[in-house]
Chain A
Amino acid sequence: MHGRPRRPDKPEDAAAADAKAAKLRDLQTQVLRNHHSRTYSKEALGLSFKLLELNPEAYTAWNYRKLAFQHNLGELSELEAIKSSIDDELRVVELALRQNPKSYGAWYHRKWLLNQKLAPVDFKREFGLLDKLLKVDARNFHGWNYRRFLAKFMGVPEEEELKYTKDKISDNFSNYSAWHNRSILLSNLLTQQRKGFESKQKIFSEEFELVTQALFTDPSDQSGWFYHLWLLAQTSSPENPQLIASWPSNGAKLSLSSVREANDKQNTPSSFSSICCYSLKEGILPIVLFFNEPVKGLTPSSVSLNSDLVVGKNIQWRPLSVTDSGHSYCWVTYLEVSNLEYCSSQQFSVEASIPNTDDIVSRSGSSYNCPVHFTFTFEPNNIDSITEDTDLIHDPISWDCSEPLPSHVKPSCIHSDQLKITNALIQEESKWHLERLSDELDLFRELPDDNSKFAKLTLARLLLACAAIKSRGSSLIERRGYCEEALGLFNDLIYLDPSHKRYYEDERSLVLMDQLTCNMESFMKYCSVQVLPNLAPLNHVQLCRLSLTCIGFVERLLWVQMLDLSHNNLRSIEGLEALQHLVCLNVSNNQISSFTALKPLTEILSLKVLDLSFNEIGTHPINTTRYICPTPFSHKVEACEAFEECQKKNINVEEFWDAILFFKHVNLVQLGFEGNAIANKENFRTLVVTLNPSIKWLDGACVH
């Protein structure tokens, strides 16, 4: 059934296939004719049976039989007659399954029949059929689906089904279907707290034990590893969603201009008490909430905002980076502060709190139970000076990453708390989780090194899970050890398993980012305050030449205003959308291949300076970003004005559709795009200038 090579057809087979096709065509026409004329005679049914026996995929024939069955049922009154007509149908399905045990239509027909509930179901026969089928192919997922259907239909206790999966695994442990069913059954039993399933810890310890036997016996078989991955996920993550970061953070003071103050007191960094918030200029104050796992259900009622201002009215929480089914790690709302009537230098305070709430739920359905409360203040002062200064950035910003950062200049706003979020959020560190993971770690370190990629990957994942738990506590040194070992493993894997190189590179990037940002001391080496002429100082983070391929741990970067990611291998900048405070971004000398990959930037209202030079935009004729980015531009976007506008200027809309959508949604002052294939394309410059009228500097040259 599995792993058998296909043999090329022999010439005589071709002739037989032709004959079969002719016969099928003939039967199909006859059945369709009967279908249209609603002929449900015995003869007509016989024809449909012949067709289905030859080709169980003829879906229309199944539907025809359903109609016929219902039609003929009307004429039957005796239970026996009904029973025998059901039996006939069941037999047709069985014969069809003999021809193709993976026929969707046949399986559905059988379910449909049982669901009619016209006669008592002979479960013995049904389970007998299944046993036979799963003996032929233990991994036939249709069979397993039908088994789940039957078990539910008949009310078989899930404990029994669990035992069945164990039996199947004992027969052959490379049965992914059995492992999979096991994970589902266990989840259900644990949620329902059934007898014998009260202790998640006990059950999972046993499951780890079971799957480890399989993994050590044959590490090259992947079904067990999948199950192990599931167990690991159940063990390493907290059960309920948690808020892990916010912007503004607790106690933050925001203002629009702190230019003077900053210049005055440059030598005493502690006096940078307030943070310049550029978006205040637009009259908008974004509030960002970042969770440890994707959640949904943020509403004005589940997240309460109190302020001296009346803000509660138009609060709309919006997910940034949407995952499936509307869940998101990161949620934002924009406070309107433009039309405030305020007197100068007045401070407004905002108080945000999330109580225990069933509204906010994770993908697994567990609700938020970790109440959090934070306040911050802002002063929309000096509004007059700003209105004079409509464009904050006059001169092209130079990104000199070769120059070491002035170490004495510390970003004003970062407190170590901000990186970790308040201590109140740290749930009691689960001792069991850590013990379990350490046991598994010890075990897999023992697995003789036969360069099994699964073993290495699992080890790396275990290390990271341990590191994650440690970061919730305070053992940072141990944590560093875990991370470094994991990095080594990912480096090995990149060579060992080149076909999944990119995945490992992404994982490695995440570990690297984690390591760099996890504690203040190491992170500070990459942080500075950039003081630009005529500009408020910007919190600057420089992560260059690190071979990053993707961005992670953005919750630790929410305060960043100027971010230099140049000279990496970034293919995606997914995650940056959470940096609602970002003004300048340098992603030059990376591997970004299309504007589709830059979609997250369109969510950042304050972004003014963007350096895209020396990427691969326009190099690849086929845009694959769509498949690797969770939130690319979609083709569904309705033709907007921008398209029309471009068409007027003879810009090829089909070629530049993603560029048009991108520049339509950003409001840049500076853009660098030299060194991209697209830069040489006709009309591209026109496009940028047309859609982005505020642009002043293009590739270092003044536009106006």
Chain B
Amino acid sequence: MADEPGGGGCSLQDYPTIDPTSFDVVLCGTGLPESVLAAACAAAGKTVLHVDPNPFYGSLFSSLPLPSLPSFLSSSSGSVPSPSSSATTLSTTSYAVVDLHRRSLYSEVETSGTVPELSRRITVDLVGPRVLYCADEGVDLLLRSGGSHHVEFKSVEGGTLLYWEGGLYPVPDSRQAIFKDTTLQLKEKNLLFRFFKLVQTHIAASSAGAEVGEGEASGKLPEEDLDLPFIEFLKKQHLSPKMRAVVLYAIAMADYGQDGAHSCEKLLTTREGIKTIALYSSSIGRFANAEGAFIYPMYGHGELPQAFCRCAAVKGALYVLRMPATALLVDEGKKRYVGTRLASGQDILCQQLILDPSYEIPSLDMPCNAPVSNSPRKVARGICIISSSVKQDSLNVLVVFPPKSLEEEQVAAVRVLQLSSNLAVCPPGMFMVYLSTPCADAFTGKKYINKAIEILFTTKASDDPEGHLEITSENNKEVKPTLIWSCVYVQEITEGTTTLSCPMPDENLDYRSILESTKKLFAEICPNDEFLPRNSAPKYADDDSDSAE
């Protein structure tokens, strides 16, 4: 658990001296990608040093006690306290020292409401709203690395709700859910299930391999359909606008509106859409005790990097917290990084250096791997504490506001994740809610986050007669949950400019894209090694921990 965020004020004497001084891989920051890399490198037999300026694990992926949140959101900027340069270094070798700076990813932080009592028992994620698909890469990595022994999951058992025409509808995501749904018309049910079946046949045929034979006879969709924008394919299946919204935004988890022809680059292809549906459907029922497709780690997402760090440590990686990196060591002849200078003043040499994305990578006169994008992506995030569940009788629920549902100009979906005390992220009697939406500018992003908050919750006491939210699946109108505390802010997302840097928490609901980039990084570091092979997990007596609680 993160206990002392922002505590970087150690005096020099407090820093331990690290021995040895040369490693295969040095990683600064213990975010999820760095931690996965550390575990993977350690498993591949590399010597690994993993340092973090914070006294807790997770960096940008950590979960913090609520009181520490404001300082974290505001203080992770500024330059790293730099010890007197080369005071303790034996600068016999010829390398240059480039000072490192850290930047703040967060802006426009705005909080309101009163922090409830017992606030230290409230843990907030920096990456929220985020979940894992039961069948996604993250879960597989945990199982393969043995990290699953250190985390416990619970399912988002309340399923997904879609905000549509002023009400919240349960998302019919399976045959049984379609059957039980009370809001769909019979014809819609028929078309929706027919679509699911079509997709499932395709998935089964594709996974059965090529030997079955190509073409429509095998049940596969024709190539021209796969290249079609997903929205066009859905229209071809005669799905109603509401059903299209269900599939696009609540199952395929598209970020941007797929209706407008102008946003062509953001159009999901059928191939991509079906890939996510395949993941979604294989997630349902993967673990007997997990209801629905999604699971959430108990105690928050900060547990995940920790779990991988432990795996790395088991494999021999060296861990030092409260240890910022202050400078890069550059081999001027070769124009490459050869090590880092730590806050203790010690210079550590390494073959490969990885920095967490809060470090500003100084642009040297060496070739950049990727051009720096001039306008970074942004994601507006919200964290709320509310009094009761948005869906009766459910603890953990996902809510999706599809594009245009809040107002006509809304281009991106707003996703909301409600978590209950059964995940040990808050005391009983309250719920944590995370919201996010990708945005071009902070103003619009925050506007939609606030709109969604307004729709879902009431700020007044619950006896306000207007505080009703229409849940159409129920006949009786339900009382909106009361908003106790909220925080809305904007996070910048810049993508790895060099091989030095790991990906940031992105606007997605899951870790797929982050882990994909991490995998690529690993391939560059260890081109001949398998990424966390199955047998890298330490052997435990029984391996039934792969089930979510």
- B443 interface hit (Cβ, 8 Å): no
A227 → chain B, closest Cβ, in Å? Answer: 13
Q: Does A214 contact B (CB under 8 A)?
A: yes
| Residue from B180, B186, B193, B238 in contact with A218 in the complex, judged by beta carbons closer than 8 Å | B193
B189 touches A448 (CB 8 A): no
Residue numbers in A under 8 Å from B179 (CB-CB): 170, 173, 213-214, 217-218
Residues on the A chain within 8 Å of B69, using CB: none
Q: Is A591 an interface residue (CB 8 A)?
A: no
Q: What is the CA–CA distance of A170 and B178 in the complex, to the nearest angstrom?
A: 11
Is A297 at the interface (CB under 8 A from chain B)? Answer: no
Contact status A213-B186, CB under 8 Å: yes
Task: Produce 1/0 per residue, A161-185, CB < 8 A to B.
Answer: 0000000001111000000000000
Interface flag for B176 (CB, 8 Å) = yes
A93 to B238, CA, bound (A): 53
Instruction: Specify the chain A residue showing the minimal Cβ separation from B238.
Output: A448
Task: Please indicate the chain B residues that have their CB under 8 angstroms from the CB of A171 in the complex.
Answer: 176
Nearest-CB distance from B360 to chain A (Å)?
A: 54
Q: A171-B176, A213-B179 are in contact. Are A219 and B186 (CB under 8 A)?
A: no
Verify A218–B175 contact, CB threshold 8 A: yes
A173 to B176, CA, bound (A): 7
Chain A min CB distance to B299 (Å): 31
Contact A446 B186 (CB under 8 A): yes
**Residue A400 at the B interface, CB < 8 A?**
no
The proximity string for B residues 181-197 relative to A, scoring 1 for CB distances below 8 Å and 0 otherwise, is 00000110111011001
Q: Looking at the complex, which one of A170, A213, A216, A218 makes contact with B187 (CB distance below 8 Å)?
A: A216
B190 near A447 with CB under 8 A, answer: yes
- The chain B residue with its CB closest to the CB of A450 is B194
Interface residue ranges of B153-194 to A (CB < 8 Å): 175-176, 178-180, 186-187, 189-191, 193-194
Q: What residues of A have a CB within 8 angstroms of the CB of B191 in the complex?
A: 448
Residues of A within 8 A of B194 (CB): 448, 450
| A216, B175: Cα distance in complex, Å | 11
A443 contacts B190, CB within 8 Å? Answer: no
Q: In whole angstroms, how far apart are the Cα atoms of A450 and B238 in the complex?
A: 13
Q: Which residues of chain B from 252 to 310 have any CB-CB distance to chain A below 8 Å in the complex?
A: none
Interface: A212 (CB within 8 A): yes
- Let me know if A213 and B176 touch, CB within 8 A: no
A216: B residues at CB distance < 8 A: 186-187, 189-190
Interface positions, chain A 214-255, Cβ under 8 Å from B, are: 214, 216-219
Distance between B401 CB and nearest chain A CB, rounded to angstroms: 27
On whether the beta carbons of B178 and A217 are closer than 8 Å, the reply is: yes
Shortest beta-carbon distance from A217 to chain B in Å: 5
Q: Which size class do B's interface residues fall under?
A: 10 to 19
In the bound complex, what is the Cα–Cα distance between A172 and B178 (angstroms)? 11
CA distance A214 to B186 in the complex (A): 9
**A179 to nearest B CB, angstroms?**
13
Of A212, A217, A443, A446, which is within 8 A of B193 by CB? A217
Chief secondary structure at chain A's binding surface:
helix
Would A217 and B187 be within 8 Å (CB), given that A170-B180, A171-B176, A172-B176 are in contact? no
For A212, what are the chain B residues with a Cβ–Cβ distance below 8 Å? 186
Q: How far is the CA of A216 from the CA of B172 in the complex (A)?
A: 14
Measured between beta carbons, the chain B residues less than 8 angstroms from A214 are: 179
Smallest CB gap from B178: residue in A: A217
Tell which of A170, A218, A443, A448 has the most Cβ of chain B within 10 Å. A218
Contact string against B for A residues 434-473, beta-carbon threshold 8 Å, 1 for contact and 0 otherwise: 0000000001001110100000000000000000000000
Chain A minimum-CB-distance residue to B194: A450
- The distance in angstroms between the C-alpha atoms of A173 and B175, with both chains bound, is 9
- How many whole Å from A19's CB to the nearest CB in chain B? 30
State the Cβ distance, A146 to closest chain B Cβ, in Å.
24
A446 touches B187 (CB 8 A): yes
Closest to B172 in A: A217
Q: How far is the CB of A213 from chain B (nearest CB, A)?
A: 5
Partner of B186, one of A172, A173, A443, A450: A443
Return the contact of B190 from the options A170, A173, A219 (Cβ within 8 A). Answer: A219
A373 to B186, CA, bound (A): 49
Give complex CA distance A170, B182 in Å: 13
For residue B180, which residues in chain A have a CB less than 8 angstroms away from its CB? 170, 213
Closest to B181 in A: A213
Residue of B176, B179, B187, B238 with most chain A CB atoms under a 10 A cut-off: B179
User: Shortest distance in angstroms between A218's beta carbon and chain B's nearest beta carbon?
Assistant: 5
Tell me the minimal C-beta distance from A448 to chain B in angstroms.
6
Chain A residues near B187: list those with CB within 8 A.
216, 446-448
A701 to B186, CA, bound (A): 66
Give Cα A332–Cα B175 distance, bound, in whole angstroms: 53
Docked Cα-Cα span, A428 to B175, in Å, equals: 42
Residue of B nearest to A444 (CB): B186
Distance from A215 Cβ to chain B, minimum over Cβ atoms (Å): 8
- Do the beta carbons of A448 and B190 come within 8 Å of each other? yes
Docked complex Cα distance between A219 and B194 (Å):
9
B175 touches A170 (CB 8 A): no
- The CA-CA distance from A172 to B175 in the complex, in Å, is 8
Q: Which residue of A lies closest to B190 (CB)?
A: A216
A398-432: which residues lie under 8 A (CB-CB) from chain B?
Answer: none
Q: How far is the CA of A446 from the CA of B186 in the complex (A)?
A: 9
Complex interface residues of chain A between 127 and 185 (CB less than 8 A to chain B): 170-173
Residues on B with C-beta less than 8 A from A446 are 186-187
Closest B residue to A452 by beta carbon equals B190
Please provide the chain A residues from 653 to 691 with a CB less than 8 Å away from any CB of chain B in the complex.
none
Min CB–CB distance A131 → chain B (angstroms): 15
CB distance from A176 to the nearest CB of B (A): 15
How far apart are the CA atoms of A443 and B186 in the complex, in Å? 9
B341-373, CB under 8 A of A: which get 1 and which 0? Answer: 000000000000000000000000000000000
CA distance in complex: A389, B76 (Å): 122
A1 to B: closest C-beta gap in Å: 15
Residue of B175, B176, B186, B191 with most chain A CB atoms under a 10 A cut-off: B186
Residues of B within 8 A of A443 (CB): 186
Chain A hits for B190, CB < 8 A:
216-217, 219, 447-448
Minimum distance in angstroms from A538 CB to a CB of chain B: 54
Q: How far is the CA of A217 from the CA of B184 in the complex (A)?
A: 10
- A218 vs B200: C-alpha distance when bound (angstroms): 14
Name A169's closest neighbour in chain B (CB-CB).
Answer: B179
Assembly CA distance A213 to B193 (angstroms)? 12
Q: Once bound together, how far apart are the Cα atoms of A212 and B185, in whole Å? A: 11
**Cα distance, A213 to B175, chains bound together (Å):** 11
**When chains A and B are docked, how far (Å) is the Cα of A452 from the Cα of B8?**
69
Note all chain B residues with C-beta closer than 8 A to A450.
194
**Which residues of B have CB within 8 Å of A170?**
176, 179-180
- Pick the most buried of B175, B190, B191: most chain A CB atoms within 10 A of its CB: B190
CA distance A183 to B339 in the complex (A): 76
* Cα–Cα, bound, A217→B172 (Å): 11
- Chain A residues whose C-beta falls within 8 Å of the C-beta of B178 in the assembled complex: 217
How close is B382's CB to chain A, nearest CB, in angstroms? 35
**How close is A171's CB to chain B, nearest CB, in angstroms?**
7
CB of A377 to closest CB in B, whole Å? 58
Q: Give complex CA distance A216, B184 in Å.
A: 11
- The CA of A22 and the CA of B180, in the complex, are separated in Å by 52
Taking the closest CB of chain B, its distance from the CB of A172, in whole angstroms, is 6
Q: Measured between C-beta atoms, what is the minimum distance from A427 to chain B in Å?
A: 32
CB nearest to A448 among chain B residues: B190
Bound Cα distance A214, B194 (Å)? 13
Q: Which residues of chain B come closer than 8 Å to A218, judged between CB atoms?
A: 175, 179, 193, 197
For A217, list chain B residues within 8 Å (CB): 175, 178-179, 189-190, 193
Q: Report the minimal beta-carbon distance from B198 to chain A, rounded to whole angstroms.
A: 11
Enumerate the 9 nearest inter-chain pairs by beta-carbon distance, A residue then B residue, closest first.
A216-B186, A216-B190, A217-B179, A217-B178, A217-B189, A216-B189, A217-B193, A173-B179, A213-B179
18 A-B residue pairs with Cβ-Cβ distance under 8 Å, sorted by A, are A170-B176, A170-B180, A173-B179, A213-B180, A213-B186, A216-B187, A216-B189, A217-B175, A217-B179, A217-B190, A218-B175, A443-B186, A446-B186, A446-B187, A447-B186, A447-B187, A448-B187, A448-B194
Known: A446-B187, A448-B190, A448-B191. 4 other contacts (CB 8 A): A170-B180, A218-B197, A446-B186, A450-B194
